[in-house]
Amino acid sequence: MPVNLFSGDSPFYQFPSPAKLNLFLHIVGRRSDGYHELETVFQFLDLGDSLSIRRTENSNINLLTPIKGVDNDNNLIVKAAKLLQKKTHTQLGAEIKIEKVLPMGGGLGGGSSNAATILIALNLLWQTNLSYKQLAELGLQLGADVPIFIHGFTAFAQGVGEKLTAVYPDESIYLISKPNCSISTQAVFTAKALPRNTEKLDIKAIDDKTYIKGYHNDCQTLVINHYPEVAKLLAWLVEYAPSRMTGTGACIFSRFDSEIEAKRVQALLPPSIESFVTKGANQSSLHQVINRLIDE
Protein backbone atom coordinates (compact mmCIF):
# COMPACT_ATOMS: atom_id res chain seq x y z
CA MET A 1 0.00 0.00 0.00
CA PRO A 2 2.00 3.03 -1.15
CA VAL A 3 1.43 5.72 1.47
CA ASN A 4 1.81 8.56 -1.07
CA LEU A 5 -1.19 7.48 -3.14
CA PHE A 6 -4.18 8.57 -1.10
CA SER A 7 -6.84 10.08 -3.28
CA GLY A 8 -10.48 9.14 -3.41
CA ASP A 9 -12.06 6.24 -1.54
CA SER A 10 -9.67 3.44 -0.64
CA PRO A 11 -10.13 -0.34 -0.55
CA PHE A 12 -10.41 -2.00 2.86
CA TYR A 13 -7.10 -2.53 4.65
CA GLN A 14 -6.74 -4.93 7.56
CA PHE A 15 -5.10 -3.98 10.84
CA PRO A 16 -4.55 -6.14 13.95
CA SER A 17 -5.83 -5.07 17.35
CA PRO A 18 -3.78 -7.13 19.82
CA ALA A 19 -4.63 -8.13 23.38
CA LYS A 20 -2.53 -7.29 26.41
CA LEU A 21 -1.78 -8.83 29.77
CA ASN A 22 -1.09 -7.08 33.03
CA LEU A 23 1.73 -9.32 34.25
CA PHE A 24 1.12 -7.70 37.62
CA LEU A 25 -1.04 -4.79 38.78
CA HIS A 26 -0.23 -2.76 41.89
CA ILE A 27 -2.40 0.13 43.06
CA VAL A 28 -0.10 2.56 44.81
CA GLY A 29 -2.42 5.47 45.54
CA ARG A 30 -5.45 7.50 44.53
CA ARG A 31 -5.34 10.97 43.04
CA SER A 32 -7.53 13.92 44.00
CA ASP A 33 -9.48 13.54 40.73
CA GLY A 34 -10.47 9.98 41.72
CA TYR A 35 -8.15 8.18 39.32
CA HIS A 36 -5.85 5.53 40.72
CA GLU A 37 -2.07 5.56 40.59
CA LEU A 38 -0.96 2.22 39.16
CA GLU A 39 2.18 0.24 38.58
CA THR A 40 1.97 -2.59 36.10
CA VAL A 41 3.77 -4.34 33.29
CA PHE A 42 1.81 -4.47 30.05
CA GLN A 43 2.80 -7.22 27.63
CA PHE A 44 1.15 -7.80 24.27
CA LEU A 45 -0.19 -11.12 23.07
CA ASP A 46 -0.01 -12.75 19.66
CA LEU A 47 -3.81 -12.72 19.74
CA GLY A 48 -6.40 -10.06 19.05
CA ASP A 49 -9.26 -8.61 17.08
CA SER A 50 -8.95 -7.55 13.45
CA LEU A 51 -10.17 -4.24 12.03
CA SER A 52 -10.80 -3.66 8.33
CA ILE A 53 -10.79 0.05 7.47
CA ARG A 54 -11.69 1.90 4.29
CA ARG A 55 -11.00 5.62 3.94
CA THR A 56 -13.87 7.60 2.42
CA GLU A 57 -14.05 11.06 0.88
CA ASN A 58 -17.14 11.92 2.92
CA SER A 59 -16.75 12.61 6.65
CA ASN A 60 -19.07 9.87 7.91
CA ILE A 61 -17.73 7.29 10.38
CA ASN A 62 -19.62 4.05 9.75
CA LEU A 63 -19.10 0.95 11.88
CA LEU A 64 -20.48 -1.74 9.57
CA THR A 65 -20.33 -4.54 12.17
CA PRO A 66 -22.05 -3.32 15.35
CA ILE A 67 -21.05 -5.06 18.57
CA LYS A 68 -23.97 -6.63 20.40
CA GLY A 69 -24.97 -4.62 23.44
CA VAL A 70 -22.85 -1.58 22.52
CA ASP A 71 -24.44 1.42 20.83
CA ASN A 72 -22.30 2.51 17.87
CA ASP A 73 -21.97 6.08 19.14
CA ASN A 74 -20.67 4.76 22.47
CA ASN A 75 -18.23 2.35 20.86
CA LEU A 76 -14.59 3.30 21.40
CA ILE A 77 -13.95 2.57 17.71
CA VAL A 78 -16.31 5.34 16.62
CA LYS A 79 -15.25 7.66 19.44
CA ALA A 80 -11.59 7.30 18.48
CA ALA A 81 -12.24 8.07 14.80
CA LYS A 82 -14.32 11.15 15.64
CA LEU A 83 -11.72 12.35 18.14
CA LEU A 84 -9.00 12.17 15.47
CA GLN A 85 -11.27 13.99 13.01
CA LYS A 86 -11.86 16.78 15.52
CA LYS A 87 -8.18 17.07 16.44
CA THR A 88 -6.94 17.24 12.85
CA HIS A 89 -9.94 18.96 11.18
CA THR A 90 -9.90 16.37 8.41
CA GLN A 91 -12.91 16.13 6.11
CA LEU A 92 -12.26 12.45 5.40
CA GLY A 93 -14.25 9.59 6.91
CA ALA A 94 -14.12 5.83 7.20
CA GLU A 95 -16.01 2.58 6.96
CA ILE A 96 -14.94 0.07 9.58
CA LYS A 97 -15.52 -3.63 10.14
CA ILE A 98 -14.36 -5.58 13.17
CA GLU A 99 -13.76 -9.29 13.57
CA LYS A 100 -14.12 -9.71 17.32
CA VAL A 101 -11.98 -12.38 19.00
CA LEU A 102 -11.25 -10.89 22.42
CA PRO A 103 -13.98 -11.39 25.04
CA MET A 104 -15.61 -8.28 26.46
CA GLY A 105 -15.17 -7.70 30.17
CA GLY A 106 -12.13 -9.95 30.20
CA GLY A 107 -9.29 -7.60 31.15
CA LEU A 108 -7.43 -8.15 27.87
CA GLY A 109 -7.79 -4.54 26.77
CA GLY A 110 -9.98 -5.21 23.73
CA GLY A 111 -11.81 -1.87 23.64
CA SER A 112 -8.66 0.14 24.33
CA SER A 113 -6.76 -1.80 21.69
CA ASN A 114 -9.54 -1.21 19.15
CA ALA A 115 -9.39 2.53 19.85
CA ALA A 116 -5.60 2.60 19.45
CA THR A 117 -5.75 0.67 16.18
CA ILE A 118 -8.27 3.16 14.82
CA LEU A 119 -6.15 6.16 15.83
CA ILE A 120 -2.95 4.74 14.33
CA ALA A 121 -4.54 3.33 11.16
CA LEU A 122 -6.61 6.41 10.34
CA ASN A 123 -3.66 8.69 11.09
CA LEU A 124 -1.95 6.81 8.25
CA LEU A 125 -4.92 6.50 5.88
CA TRP A 126 -6.01 10.10 6.39
CA GLN A 127 -2.38 11.31 6.34
CA THR A 128 -3.00 13.46 9.40
CA ASN A 129 0.64 12.99 10.45
CA LEU A 130 0.31 13.07 14.25
CA SER A 131 3.18 11.60 16.23
CA TYR A 132 2.68 8.59 18.48
CA LYS A 133 3.06 10.96 21.44
CA GLN A 134 0.19 13.10 20.13
CA LEU A 135 -1.94 10.03 19.40
CA ALA A 136 -1.27 8.71 22.92
CA GLU A 137 -2.42 12.01 24.41
CA LEU A 138 -5.63 11.70 22.40
CA GLY A 139 -6.02 8.08 23.38
CA LEU A 140 -5.75 8.88 27.08
CA GLN A 141 -9.04 10.77 26.71
CA LEU A 142 -10.65 7.45 25.74
CA GLY A 143 -9.09 5.22 28.40
CA ALA A 144 -6.03 4.76 30.59
CA ASP A 145 -4.88 1.67 28.67
CA VAL A 146 -5.00 3.25 25.20
CA PRO A 147 -1.50 4.84 25.29
CA ILE A 148 0.27 1.49 25.73
CA PHE A 149 -1.37 0.22 22.55
CA ILE A 150 -0.41 3.45 20.75
CA HIS A 151 3.26 3.16 21.68
CA GLY A 152 3.35 -0.56 20.94
CA PHE A 153 6.14 -1.81 23.22
CA THR A 154 5.97 -3.90 26.38
CA ALA A 155 6.35 -1.49 29.27
CA PHE A 156 6.43 -0.86 32.98
CA ALA A 157 3.61 1.65 33.36
CA GLN A 158 3.07 4.20 36.11
CA GLY A 159 0.59 6.99 36.80
CA VAL A 160 -2.80 6.06 35.36
CA GLY A 161 -0.93 3.92 32.83
CA GLU A 162 0.52 6.67 30.67
CA LYS A 163 4.11 6.83 32.02
CA LEU A 164 5.91 4.06 30.16
CA THR A 165 9.38 2.51 30.46
CA ALA A 166 10.33 -0.25 28.01
CA VAL A 167 11.00 -3.65 29.59
CA TYR A 168 11.72 -7.04 28.05
CA PRO A 169 10.06 -9.95 29.87
CA ASP A 170 10.16 -13.46 28.46
CA GLU A 171 7.76 -13.96 25.55
CA SER A 172 6.16 -16.92 27.30
CA ILE A 173 3.45 -19.33 26.21
CA TYR A 174 0.14 -18.50 27.89
CA LEU A 175 -3.18 -20.25 28.31
CA ILE A 176 -5.82 -17.52 28.57
CA SER A 177 -9.06 -18.68 30.19
CA LYS A 178 -12.25 -16.67 30.67
CA PRO A 179 -14.73 -17.60 33.42
CA ASN A 180 -18.41 -17.36 32.57
CA CYS A 181 -18.77 -13.78 33.77
CA SER A 182 -17.89 -10.23 32.80
CA ILE A 183 -16.49 -7.75 35.27
CA SER A 184 -16.96 -3.99 35.30
CA THR A 185 -13.65 -2.15 35.61
CA GLN A 186 -15.50 0.78 37.16
CA ALA A 187 -17.09 -1.46 39.80
CA VAL A 188 -13.69 -2.84 40.79
CA PHE A 189 -11.97 0.52 41.03
CA THR A 190 -14.78 2.10 43.05
CA ALA A 191 -15.02 -0.78 45.55
CA LYS A 192 -14.20 0.23 49.12
CA ALA A 193 -12.33 -3.04 49.75
CA LEU A 194 -9.84 -2.47 46.92
CA PRO A 195 -6.25 -2.09 48.24
CA ARG A 196 -4.79 1.29 47.32
CA ASN A 197 -1.54 1.51 49.26
CA THR A 198 0.88 -1.01 47.75
CA GLU A 199 4.49 0.17 48.10
CA LYS A 200 5.92 1.72 44.95
CA LEU A 201 8.54 -0.20 42.98
CA ASP A 202 11.93 0.91 41.82
CA ILE A 203 12.09 0.23 38.08
CA LYS A 204 15.79 -0.58 38.44
CA ALA A 205 14.91 -3.40 40.82
CA ILE A 206 12.45 -5.13 38.49
CA ASP A 207 13.77 -8.48 37.32
CA ASP A 208 12.39 -9.55 33.95
CA LYS A 209 12.12 -13.12 35.20
CA THR A 210 9.93 -12.35 38.23
CA TYR A 211 6.86 -10.69 36.79
CA ILE A 212 4.77 -13.74 37.59
CA LYS A 213 6.16 -14.96 40.90
CA GLY A 214 7.49 -11.75 42.42
CA TYR A 215 4.46 -9.48 42.25
CA HIS A 216 0.67 -9.63 42.39
CA ASN A 217 -2.63 -8.18 41.16
CA ASP A 218 -4.26 -5.92 43.74
CA CYS A 219 -7.67 -6.47 42.11
CA GLN A 220 -7.58 -10.26 42.28
CA THR A 221 -8.67 -10.90 45.88
CA LEU A 222 -11.58 -8.46 45.58
CA VAL A 223 -12.76 -10.11 42.36
CA ILE A 224 -12.52 -13.70 43.57
CA ASN A 225 -14.46 -12.73 46.72
CA HIS A 226 -17.34 -11.46 44.57
CA TYR A 227 -17.16 -13.74 41.54
CA PRO A 228 -17.12 -17.45 42.45
CA GLU A 229 -16.65 -18.34 38.77
CA VAL A 230 -13.26 -16.60 38.82
CA ALA A 231 -12.30 -18.11 42.18
CA LYS A 232 -13.13 -21.64 41.06
CA LEU A 233 -11.29 -21.44 37.74
CA LEU A 234 -8.22 -19.80 39.26
CA ALA A 235 -8.02 -22.43 42.01
CA TRP A 236 -8.11 -25.16 39.34
CA LEU A 237 -5.53 -23.53 37.06
CA VAL A 238 -2.90 -22.92 39.74
CA GLU A 239 -2.65 -26.70 40.16
CA TYR A 240 -1.14 -26.84 36.66
CA ALA A 241 0.83 -23.61 36.20
CA PRO A 242 1.53 -20.17 37.71
CA SER A 243 -1.75 -18.35 37.11
CA ARG A 244 -3.06 -14.86 37.74
CA MET A 245 -5.96 -12.63 36.77
CA THR A 246 -5.13 -9.90 34.25
CA GLY A 247 -6.30 -6.34 34.84
CA THR A 248 -9.65 -6.20 36.60
CA GLY A 249 -10.56 -9.61 35.15
CA ALA A 250 -12.23 -11.83 34.40
CA CYS A 251 -9.57 -13.53 32.25
CA ILE A 252 -6.84 -15.59 33.90
CA PHE A 253 -3.44 -16.22 32.31
CA SER A 254 -1.40 -19.32 33.03
CA ARG A 255 2.27 -19.48 32.06
CA PHE A 256 3.75 -22.61 30.44
CA ASP A 257 7.14 -23.69 29.13
CA SER A 258 5.68 -25.16 25.94
CA GLU A 259 2.68 -24.85 23.67
CA ILE A 260 2.14 -28.61 23.92
CA GLU A 261 1.75 -28.45 27.71
CA ALA A 262 -0.54 -25.42 27.50
CA LYS A 263 -2.80 -27.15 25.00
CA ARG A 264 -2.85 -30.28 27.15
CA VAL A 265 -4.25 -28.29 30.07
CA GLN A 266 -6.58 -26.36 27.75
CA ALA A 267 -8.11 -29.67 26.66
CA LEU A 268 -9.01 -30.40 30.28
CA LEU A 269 -11.08 -27.22 30.66
CA PRO A 270 -14.88 -27.50 30.62
CA PRO A 271 -16.34 -26.73 27.16
CA SER A 272 -18.15 -23.72 28.61
CA ILE A 273 -14.84 -21.96 29.38
CA GLU A 274 -13.61 -19.77 26.53
CA SER A 275 -9.85 -20.20 26.17
CA PHE A 276 -6.86 -19.48 23.93
CA VAL A 277 -3.26 -20.64 23.79
CA THR A 278 -1.02 -17.83 22.62
CA LYS A 279 2.41 -16.26 23.05
CA GLY A 280 3.60 -13.07 24.69
CA ALA A 281 4.97 -10.40 22.37
CA ASN A 282 7.19 -7.46 23.30
CA GLN A 283 6.22 -5.52 20.17
CA SER A 284 2.64 -4.93 19.08
CA SER A 285 1.56 -6.75 15.92
CA LEU A 286 -0.15 -3.52 14.84
CA HIS A 287 3.17 -1.69 14.80
CA GLN A 288 4.74 -4.45 12.76
CA VAL A 289 2.00 -4.00 10.12
CA ILE A 290 2.22 -0.20 10.16
CA ASN A 291 5.99 -0.29 9.75
CA ARG A 292 5.67 -2.61 6.74
CA LEU A 293 3.07 -0.33 5.12
CA ILE A 294 5.22 2.74 5.61
CA ASP A 295 8.23 0.97 4.11
CA GLU A 296 6.37 -0.10 0.95
Which residues participate in catalysis according to the annotation? Answer: 20, 145
- Helix residue spans in the chain (DSSP H): 76-88, 110-125, 132-140, 146-151, 185-189, 220-226, 228-237, 259-266, 285-295
* Cβ-proximal residues to 275 (8 Å cutoff; 6+ apart), any chain: 175, 176, 177, 178, 266, 269
Q: Is the dihedral of CA 131, 120, 188, 108 positive or negative?
A: negative
Q: What is the DSSP letter of 217?
A: B
Q: Which among 223, 231, 202 is positioned nearest to 214, based on CA atoms?
A: 202
Q: Which among 79, 84, 94 is positioned nearest to 119, based on CA atoms?
A: 84
